Amino acid sequence: MTDLRTLVSQARGGRVVRTGFVEGSTVDRRALAADGVRFAVNGGFPDPSRVIYTLYPEHIPNVDDPVKIVRLEADFGENTDVQDIRVAVNLPDELRGDIREQHGMFLVATLQKGLKQLQSLNSLRVQGRELELQIEVLDASNLERSVKTREVVVPSMRVDVVGAKGFGVSRAYFQAGIEGKNVRINGQLASSSTSIREGDTLVAERLGRIEFKRVINETRRGNFKLELEVHKS
């Protein structure tokens, strides 16, 4: 990683400069608290671990987000994980942000140079198999605003309880959506008494989609702590 003091000096001199991807937890931000310099942090995902730091003179109001999100689609198989994809795409560290799994596909955060490298691929060798590859570039800013992993505590696994908590709306509001036939679980219309389980997909019109990832634990009071991936419309 470039010495932050060098980047600060360059930004003071009127330039817009960037690091490559770095582990955000390893950066001492005190080095960035310099007069005449602003900085932005981008990673493409909600709560990213690998990020880009952009430093720029204070007279510039803002800078563009340089991170690109690339969706890789192939017949990966159930045993393919993030580490397999990291090895297969073989991006240099400075071009490789977080890699995340999404519904059997993988999302890769990268920069323009890394995007070009990925777009040059017609296939990907994963676990000894050569897989035909399809690539789609997503809007990182929209992804960051609309997708969030949440941990919620609920008293039951009823769809009206979990749905209201996951989307952050009142139970009465969500119940009205159920009664209006606007809520489905795995493609089937849901009722208030329908239970939701790990792996289920809940879709509510005008609200979005919830992927039920897992039950984290049961609390002492008999409630359930859940991990949900919430995609808001």
Please identify, in words, the CATH class of the domain defined by 68-138: alpha beta
CA dihedral sign of residues 187, 188, 192, 194: negative
pLDDT digits (tens, 9 = 90+) for 183-197: 999 878 999 889 999
72, 133 Cβ separation under 8 angstroms: yes
Q: Where are the domains of the chain?
A: 4-57, 68-138, 145-232
**pLDDT at residue 202 above 60?**
yes
Assign 3-state DSSP to the chain and report helix, strand, coil percentages, each to 5. Answer: 25, 35, 35
73, 85 Cβ separation under 8 angstroms: no
Express as a percent the part of the chain with pLDDT over 90. Answer: 60
**pLDDT at residue 94 above 70?**
yes
pLDDT digits (tens, 9 = 90+) for 68-81: 999 999 999 878 88
- The CATH number of the domain covering residues in 145-232: 3.10.290.10
2, 21 Cβ separation under 8 angstroms: no
Average pLDDT over residues 192-206: 89
pLDDT digits (tens, 9 = 90+) for 30-63: 888 778 899 999 998 866 789 999 999 999 988 9
pTM (2 d.p.): 0.61
**pLDDT at residue 144 above 60?**
no
Number of C-alpha atoms within 13 angstroms, CB side, residue 195? 5
Helices (H), 13-139: 82-89, 112-119
Give 147 or 200, the one with higher predicted confidence: 200
